[in-house]
Structure formats: structure tokens, C-alpha cells
Amino acid sequence: MPSELSLTRGIVASEVFTRDGSLPLQLVTLENGRGTRVTLCDLGASLYSIHTRDRYGHSDNILLTYADPQHWLENHWYLGVTAGRVANRIGDARFTLGNETYLLPVNDGKNHLHGGPQGLHTKRWQVVQSESSARFQSVTFRCVSEDGEGGYPGNLDIELTYCLDEDDALTLEYRALTDADTPVVLTNHCYWNLAGADGILEHELEIHANQLLRLDEQLIPTGELFNVAGTPVDFRKRKKIGRDIDWWPGGYDNFWVVDETAEKTLKPIASLVHPASGRSVRVVSSEAGVQFYSGNFLDGSRNRDSGSPIHKYAGLCLETHGFPDAPNHQNFPSVILKKGEEYRQTTIYQFSAE
């Protein structure tokens, strides 16, 4: 990490150099007594890798991680990044706030995705705090998105704390302040593969949601919700991901509504299990729902750290956040952060192996 930063004893810092000679990636690793290791990256305050043990005691990286550090600089698949200022899509790359319409960079068809090409995933976040005790290790990243950056109003000051505890839970706590009203939707875009290899079609998923947002052909919400009961998107009971994946052309990329009121209380969101290894991750969050993306656009043009190509369905995302495209739908819970108020978001990943 930068020379002026003194990390708490027990938390490991390292550097990874890229082929183009640009500023190296700064990594920080948290580790607990169970052998779980979480490596974080300053670029995008990213989840770089997570190593956990399977039921036999073998440790694997359960995230997709690029083999070539150069690809982290490009990262058009958003591996592990903090997505924002507004994660997910904004239809027609515009929204109206008050009496003003804001035009955003277009980077997904005619729409705006994950904060645009200069989103939070492209920023070098600074480590501002670290802690280590017998119960946990934590690191806090900070960045400031300036007024007008990415087309958004207001200066946005963001902190993100990663905390790994001895119960094998990884907690992400987001906080943000603004000096002008502005939409804020933050999430992490890591790709899970609990097998540590191959794909995710044999994984089993449960989502604690009765409703799904209806989408148009560009994956923009229409404003309607529908009941998942008896449909291929019904994950209320755990099922194999590959069973109904052809329901939507290309795979899943949809938002499941867990709490229509969007009340900021911790609630079970989803559980992902890989039966062969025994690994599982349970997701708990303060957010309204989860975008389950099955890695449909991964095309094999990049390799993961194991050396194998990152192909379609090599990993999946469980992105916890508020309703997508909310600024353009009055019937959706608001995602506007007002001046003088604080944005808070908490997501917990609970690891286990049985």
C-alpha cells in the first residue's frame, strides 16, 4: 500500500504489477483462523479473491480472478468491483431529479450501466483505516466522486469497510455523504464459483423472493413486478442453476425483489451451494433485492488465475442493491440520497463447508 499508510499488524499488503507499467495494483489480505483469506484491491475497492476450504479441507479461490493483472485495468466484466454511483442499468442513460434532466454516458446499448465507463470501478480507492483483533480483521477504503463525474450531481464521499470475522462471515458496510441530492446505488460485482473450477450450472441457488421485476428486451425494468410462483425464476426452494437457465435467452440477468418496501433492515437474500465440494455462501443484506447474473457475457477471451478460460457461466453474481432504474420509476422505492443524509448499505457473506 502507499508508504504513508500503516496497516494494522496481521493484515498483509502486497503489490501486483501490470504489463503496461502503470501504477501497480495495491492488494490487502485479511485472514481468519479457519484459513479463509480475502484479498482486496485498491482499484475499484474490489474483491480480488476469496480462498475458503471445502469439506475435505482443500482451499480454493471461490471468485473469478483474472490471471493477467493487466486485465484488471480493463475489467469490462466488472470482476469483483464496487459498482456505482448507480449500479445496474439506467434506461436511456438519463434521469430527472427536481426540474433537471441529467444525461449520463452510454455504455450498454443505449443505456447506462454500473456508473458508466468512469464509474467507481475505475477509481483508485485509498485505505483509510484497518483493524485486527482476536475476533476479526477489517479494512476501510474511501473515495470521492466529484460533482458532475459520470454525469451525476453532487460531490459523493464514500467509505467501504470489509470485515472478515472468526465465524467465517465477510461483512461489507457502505457509507456515503453528498452535498447535493443525487441517486446512489452501490454493490459488489464479484463472480462466485464455489467449485474453484469449471462452471456454475451444477451449483444450487435459493433466493428468498416472491417477486421479480419485469424487463424489456434491453433488460430495463418496465415498472411491473410479477409473482415467481410456478415459473422458471422461482428459486424459493433451492434448485440447480442449470435446470431452467434457458428460460431467458442467454441466461439469468434479473432482479429478484426480496422486500418491496426497501426497508433498510438485515434480511436473508440468497444461499448458494456447491454440493460436490460442500461449500456454501449465505447472503444477508439490508437491500431490497438481488440481481442474479449468471455470467452470460463471459466469452473465454480472458483466463482466470487457475489458467482456464473465463467462459460463459464460469461464475455468477449476486448483486444486492436497491431497485434498478429507480430514478425513472415513481412507483419504485427511491434511491435518492439527500444532502445532509447518510447512505448506508450492509451485505454479509457467510461461508461454510459441510
Q: What domain count does the chain have?
A: 1
2 in a structural domain = no
Is the pLDDT at 1 greater than 80? The verdict is no
Q: How many whole angstroms from its chain centre is CA 327? A: 20
Active-site amino acid positions: 189, 319
The pLDDT value given to residue 2: 40
103 in a structural domain = yes
Per-residue pLDDT tens over the stretch 45-103:
999 999 999 999 999 999 999 999 999 999 999 999 999 999 999 999 999 999 999 99
4 in a structural domain = no
**Region 165-191: what's the mean pLDDT?**
99
CATH of the domain at 208: 2.70.98.10
Per-residue pLDDT tens over the stretch 299-334:
999 999 999 999 999 999 999 999 999 999 999 999
**Side-chain half-sphere exposure of 54, counting CA atoms within 13 A:** 17
1 in a structural domain = no
| Parent domain of 223 | 12-353
Task: Tell me the percentage of the chain whose pLDDT exceeds 70.
Answer: 98
User: For 150, phi and psi rounded to 5 degrees?
Assistant: 70, 10
Cα–Cα distance measured from residue 318 to residue 347, given in angstroms and rounded to the nearest whole number: 11
6 in a structural domain = no
pTM, two decimal places: 0.96
83 in a structural domain = yes
- Sheet with strand 239-240: strands edge to edge: 126-132, 136-145, 156-165, 169-178, 342-353, 279-285, 267-274, 204-207, 239-240
347 in a structural domain = yes
304 in a structural domain = yes
Interacting residues of 218 by C-beta distance below 8 A, sequence separation 6+? 89, 91, 109, 110, 111
The pLDDT value given to residue 263: 86
Per-residue pLDDT tens over the stretch 206-230:
999 999 999 999 999 999 999 999 9
